[in-house]
């Protein structure tokens, strides 16, 4: 029978490294995707993901189960990613390279070339628009879009109320819409 | 504020599944009937689809084995003391802790600044009198501080031409300090 | 600690700040109304080894001067308003004018002038600890020297 996250945490707290390994295997991809959504760079996202689990390992003794494990691990990861964003200095050209890499890796099926150009331009501008959001607004968009988390869970991760999550999402979506008006 | 303006703010939470059943029904009914809000819904759905395709699709799958190997190496590595200190500092500057730290810091600062008001006697025992300015109008003068008794002395030497007061005998020599 | 966590954060913050402000008001230095200035006029000499018992409290300070005998000639106290001058008569046709200036950090700043008749002998500004003193000495008198103990207590 599969152990719950809390069971695994308790085993970790007793020094069982294999329990921690299981937790990492369950969440490493999700954590990476959220952090990538925030940082927009694979190497940085990988580095911050590693740091997230390292911090979690060091602090797991103090985890009392007040929140779910995934809320806790996301909170560590998002905070580290927001800190990294504030330190990050990216130029638009580097950003475009990331986008090119994304498009190459997607292996898009050839279709109407006009639609393809339109979609490409939309995505390019969307990525730029996401990057122009503040770290806090980007975080709510990423957590909602990638993980489909509830406002309550997002609030627990970011340390704010559901109302704040709702207003940040509303603001972020409006901002994105305003910047992409001509493509929609 | 009309119905559409009220509804516009609710379309996002409705699409996110955050509204109650009753609220959802209200929004659904309005969006279906109102062209403007119907368009707002379509725009939001388009943005969400685009966001999904960018944020979800682009994330490559990480191979767990190499991720775990790298993580294990980091765990086994001893963290430099300055990095541990920074981690602690960043924990302490998190919002809930900082909310307590601010009034505590203010209280500590005020207590330190007010310390002397609460302990004036102790303070004065440690202090000498200080001479800020002196004009002996041409006479020799000496300043003395004696540590043991915390005494400040201003000593006027007799003017060589003599004071006005007539002395019956020669006054004793100045103090031997 | 759990109970504290349950209370609204703003209420707690307000309470903390109120405590701090109350403490500050209590600790704030109250400005004294006037200064009591005391002048002890002492005759120091080497003609005998007598030490006036009335000067017992000052023995440590007077020993610094290395005279063999000390006699208290007079002790006088007056309340002096801030920036107001008071004159003390000193033996030998002298006078001592004391003008308290200000009270800060529990110290009294004052101007002191010693005159011989109308002639100024010494002008000085000193800062002494509240209820503390300093010594002014040297003017010859009756075979010895005058030693003045000048103290101030802010009230």
State how far the Cα of B23 lies from the Cα of B35, in Å rounded to an integer: 19
Per-domain boundaries in chain B: 3-55, 79-118, 128-177
What's the pLDDT band for A121 if we cut at 50, 70, 90?
confident
Residue B111, chain C, CB below 8 Å: the answer is: yes
In a domain, A32, yes or no: yes
- Mean pLDDT, rounded, for A118-138: 83
SS3 C134: strand
Q: Which of 64-123 (A) contact B at CB < 8 A?
A: 83, 102, 105-106, 122-123
Mapped onto helix, strand or coil, the DSSP state of residue C42 is strand
Q: Closest to A141 (Cβ–Cβ): which among B51, B56, B95?
A: B51
Residue of C nearest to B177 (CA): C65
Quick one: CA dihedral B83, B84, B89, B90, positive or negative? positive
Domain CATH number, residue A77? 1.10.1740.10
Choice among A92-101, A137-146, B126-135 with the minimum mean pLDDT: A92-101
Nearest CA in chain C to B157: C138
Q: What is the pLDDT of residue A99?
A: 35
* Subunits close to C (at least 3 CB pairs below 8 A): B
pTM of the model: 0.49
Lowest mean pLDDT among B106-115, B117-126, B162-171, C83-92: B162-171
Question: Which partners does chain B have (≥3 C-beta pairs < 8 Å)?
Answer: A, C
Q: How confident is the model at residue B175 (pLDDT cuts 50, 70, 90)?
A: low
pLDDT on residue A100? 38
- CB proximity C123 to B under 8 Å: yes
**All residues at 6 or more sequence positions from C18 whose CB lies less than 8 Å from its CB, including other chains:** none
Q: Looking at the domain assignment, is residue A83 inside a domain?
A: yes
pLDDT of residue C26: 52
Of the ranges A102-111, B108-117, B134-143, the best mean pLDDT one: B134-143
Q: Identify whether A34 is part of a domain.
A: yes
pLDDT the model gives residue A107 = 41
Specify which residues C111 forms β-bridges with: C99, C125
Helix (H) or strand (E) holding C146: strand C144-154
Q: Which of A58-62, B46-50, B163-167 has the lowest mean pLDDT?
A: B163-167
Q: To the nearest whole number, what is the mean pLDDT of chain C?
A: 85
Residue C2 has pLDDT above 50, yes or no: no
User: Which chain C positions have a beta carbon within 8 Å of B157's beta carbon?
Assistant: 138
Q: What percent of chain C has pLDDT over 70?
A: 81
pLDDT tens string A133-159: 888 899 999 999 888 899 999 999 998
For chains B and C, what is the number of CB pairs under 8 angstroms? 169
The reply to whether B98 touches chain A by the CB within 8 Å rule is: no
Residue C23 has pLDDT above 80, yes or no: no
User: What is the domain extent for residue A42?
Assistant: 1-89
Q: Which chains have 3 or more CB–CB distances shorter than 8 Å to chain A?
A: B
Q: Which residue in B has a C-alpha nearest to residue C133's C-alpha?
A: B129
* A5 or A119: which leads in pLDDT: A5
Distance CA A159, CA C113 (A): 69
> How many distinct structural domains can be found in chain A?
1
- CB neighbour list of residue A127: distance below 8 Å, 6 or more residues apart: A40, A95, A98, A99, B54
Task: Say what the alpha-carbon torsion angle A155, A156, A158, A162 is, to the nearest 10 degrees.
Answer: 10
Mean pLDDT for the stretch of residues A113-142: 79
Determine which of A19, A23, A26, A28 to mutate to test the interface with B (most B C-beta atoms within 10 Å).
A28
Strand ordering across the sheet containing C69-81? B141-146, B151-156, C132-141, C144-154, C34-45, C69-81
Does a structural domain hold residue A48?
yes
Dihedral of alpha carbons B72, B75, B78, B79, sign: positive
Q: Which residues of A touch B44 (CB under 8 A)?
A: 173, 177
* Touching chains A and C? (3+ Cβ pairs < 8 A): no
Q: What digits encode the pLDDT tens for the residues A24-82?
A: 999 999 999 999 888 888 888 999 999 999 999 999 998 988 888 999 999 999 999 98
- Establish if B139 touches chain C: CB-CB under 8 angstroms: yes
């Amino acid at each position: 029978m599969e152990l719950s996250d809390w069971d695994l945490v308790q085993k970790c707290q007793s020094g069982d490294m294999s329990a921690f390994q299981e937790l990492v295997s369950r969440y490493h991809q999700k954590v990476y995707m959220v952090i990538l959504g925030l940082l927009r760079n694979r190497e940085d996202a990988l580095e911050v993901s590693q740091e997230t689990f390292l911090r979690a390992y060091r602090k797991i003794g103090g985890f009392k189960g007040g929140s779910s494990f995934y809320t806790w691990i996301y909170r560590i990861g998002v905070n580290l990613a927001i800190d990294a964003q504030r330190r990050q200095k990216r130029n638009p050209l580097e950003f475009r390279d990331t986008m090119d890499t994304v498009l190459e890796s997607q292996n898009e099926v050839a279709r109407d070339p006009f639609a393809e150009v339109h979609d490409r331009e939309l995505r390019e501008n969307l990525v730029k628009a996401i990057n122009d959001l503040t770290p806090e607004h980007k975080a709510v968009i990423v957590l909602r879009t990638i993980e489909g988390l509830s406002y309550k869970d997002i609030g627990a991760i970011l340390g704010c109320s559901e109302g704040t999550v709702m207003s940040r999402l509303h603001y972020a979506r409006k901002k994105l819409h305003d910047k992409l008006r001509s493509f929609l | 504020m009309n119905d559409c303006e009220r509804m516009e703010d609710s379309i996002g939470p409705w699409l996110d599944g955050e509204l109650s059943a009753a609220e959802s029904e209200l929004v659904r009914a309005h969006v279906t009937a109102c062209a403007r809000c119907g368009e707002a819904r379509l725009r939001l759905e388009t943005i969400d689809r685009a966001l999904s395709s960018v944020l979800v699709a682009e994330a490559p799958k990480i191979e767990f084995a190499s991720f775990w190997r790298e993580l294990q190496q980091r765990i086994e590595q001893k963290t430099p003391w300055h990095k541990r200190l920074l981690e602690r500092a960043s924990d302490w500057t998190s919002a809930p802790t900082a909310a307590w730290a601010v009034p505590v810091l203010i209280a500590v600062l005020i207590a330190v600044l007010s310390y002397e008001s609460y302990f004036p006697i102790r303070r004065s025992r440690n202090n000498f009198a200080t001479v800020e300015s002196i004009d002996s109008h041409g006479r020799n003068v000496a300043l003395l501080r004696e540590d043991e008794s915390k005494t400040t002395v201003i000593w006027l030497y007799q003017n060589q031409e003599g004071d006005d007061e007539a002395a019956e005998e020669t006054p004793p020599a100045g103090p031997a300090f | 600690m759990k109970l504290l966590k349950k209370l609204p954060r703003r209420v707690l913050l307000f309470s903390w700040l109120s405590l701090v402000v109350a403490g500050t008001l209590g600790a704030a230095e109250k400005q004294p109304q006037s200064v009591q200035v005391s002048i002890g006029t002492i005759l120091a000499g080497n003609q005998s080894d007598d030490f006036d018992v009335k000067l017992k409290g000052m023995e440590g300070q007077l020993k610094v001067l290395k005279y063999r005998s000390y006699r208290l000639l007079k002790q006088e106290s007056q309340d002096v308003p801030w920036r107001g001058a008071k004159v003390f008569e000193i033996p030998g046709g002298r006078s001592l004018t004391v003008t308290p200036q200000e009270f800060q950090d529990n110290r009294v700043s004052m101007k002191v002038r010693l005159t011989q008749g109308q002639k100024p002998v010494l002008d000085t500004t000193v800062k002494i600890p509240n209820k503390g003193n300093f010594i002014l000495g040297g003017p010859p008198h009756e075979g010895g020297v005058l030693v003045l103990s000048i103290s101030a207590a802010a009230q």
